Amino acid sequence: MGMQFDDKKHLVERPASASSADLLEWHGIDWAKVNRNVRNLQIRIAKATKERDWRRVKALQRFLTRSYCGKALAVRRVTENRGRKTPGVDNVVWSTPESKTRGMTELKRRGYQPQPLRRVYIPKSNGKLRPLGIPTMKDRAMQALYLLALEPVAETLADPNSYGFRPYRCTADAIKQCRTALSQRTSAAWILEADIEGCFDHISHPWLLDHVPMDREVLRKWLKCGYMESQMRYATEAGTPQGGVISPTLANLALDGLEALLQQHFGKRNSNKVNVVRYADDFIITGASKELLEKKVKPLVEGFLAERGLRLSPEKTKITHIDDGFDFLGQHVRKYKGKLIIKPAKKNIKNFLDKVRGIIANNKTAKTINLIGLLNPVIRGWAEYHKTINAKTTYSYVDHCLWQALWRWARRRRTHAANPHLDAGRHQSHRDDVGRARRRRARHRKRLGQYVHVQRDASGTRWQCHDV
């Protein structure tokens, strides 16, 4: 067995002699059968969870995490996603069939010890940096394996109006629920815009170990594995790493129960009009009055979060009237003369235009077809995201801005001599108008010269025309 570098200088496990048995074993997996077997086990786990038969849940989870199908699906997930070429602290990626097959055999609970995370930072929309923890390929595969067993439990116990990081749910579903809760004439008029400060970084480890229904020893190792930064290892005392496969599900499990708590105090269909719409750590709560949200709802939410080691962000949490509108998931929700209109938020539009203009500015000398290939996915993705709301006017404005940016790009690449029309622009300049008139007079004089001969007399004061 040897270690080699791939094209991007990442260590890749390669056998000393290529084994056709390993190659056929990975490519010969019947993925339809694998998915069917895992799905059947997950259904049994969900049924046991619904019946609150926790002993059976634990037995089925143990069976799934030790099964061949579960391990194959976990390795496939982490080696075929967008982060498959991103290594952890060991600088190893599983890019060959042999390494993937060998990775399946390494997914064992006995003797398992996760390596520290590789700390990287990505920019946030407010200019700050968001820390990410990148696990190794083996740790990612182990998390994906145990996620297969935890996901049925999390989905069964989840809040009805929780939409973030859940299968078959998206931001469009959350916006639809906002419309349902706010569109009627008698709907709630006040909204508590809540945002949790550093949700992933501050979740209490003891709370997770006591309440998350999975193997506690494996979970404890993940939470306490620490991270590497500048060749130094640091311990983690709270939070789940952003970048882990299982972290979003752990965060959802920590926040599930908020909707049930509010229903317990105000009822499911209540005169106070209290409703919750949550997407990950960003959520809104509606209410009949500002006083209700300030004095009753907000203290309940703060107490709920305090048990989990969390708190609301003072900068992003505020109470707003529906006539003033609020931004949620990149959309602006507001009532205009009693009619609810949802359209793209100004901040979202600005970020999109800045991104597109940046792509154009960074490709001033690129071929047209290459620039189109870079712009199309961005434009199509943004348009698809907003297609379910009132975005016609915004689409027209964005289309105009994109045309102007591309027109400037095209003018820069074309000289006046090569293409006078492009250089002139959409509207002809005064200089072009003067030049056109001068050329027109010259053509007229040329035609006139075919019939008459123009000559000045001796006094220099008059012109005389002589027939030719």
User: Which tokens in the block code for residue 424?
Assistant: 């002139």
CB 381 within 8 Å of CB 387: no
Question: Strand 339-344 to strand 11-14: parallel, antiparallel, or no bridges (unpaired)?
Answer: unpaired
Give residue 449's pLDDT.
Answer: 53
Token pair 């639809």 is at which residue?
176
Contact 185, 338 (CB under 8 A): yes
Tell me the β-bridge partners of 465.
Answer: 454
User: In the predicted model, is pLDDT for residue 186 greater than 70?
Assistant: yes
pLDDT tens digits, residue range 207-245? Answer: 999 999 999 999 999 999 999 888 888 888 888 888 889
Q: Which residue has the tokens 């640091």?
A: 234
pLDDT at 406 over 70: yes
For the cut 90, the answer to whether the pLDDT of residue 65 exceeds it is yes
Q: What is the pLDDT of residues 409-457, one digit of tens each?
A: 998 877 554 455 554 554 455 566 667 777 777 776 666 555 444 444 5
Give this prediction's pTM. 0.80
The alpha carbon of 462 is separated from its chain's Cα centroid by a whole number of angstroms, namely: 81
For 315-340, the pLDDT digits (tens) are: 889 999 999 999 999 999 999 999 99
Give me the pLDDT at residue 308, please.
Answer: 94
Q: Is 42 in contact with 150 (CB distance < 8 Å)?
A: no
Q: How many CB atoms lie within 10 A of CB 289?
A: 15
How far is it, in rounded angstroms, from Cα 67 to Cα 81? 22
Per-residue pLDDT at 462: 45
Per-residue confidence (pLDDT) for residue 456, from 0 to 100: 47
Q: How far apart (Å, rounded) are the C-alpha atoms in residues 211 and 189?
A: 36
What angle is formed at CA 441 by the lines to CA 440 and CA 446, rounded to 5 degrees?
100
Question: pLDDT value at position 269?
Answer: 78
Least-confidence region, from 82-96, 163-177, 334-348, 438-452? 438-452
Q: Mean of the pLDDT values across residues 93-116?
A: 93
What would the pLDDT profile of 248-273 be if each residue is shown by its tens digit?
999 999 999 999 999 999 988 778 99
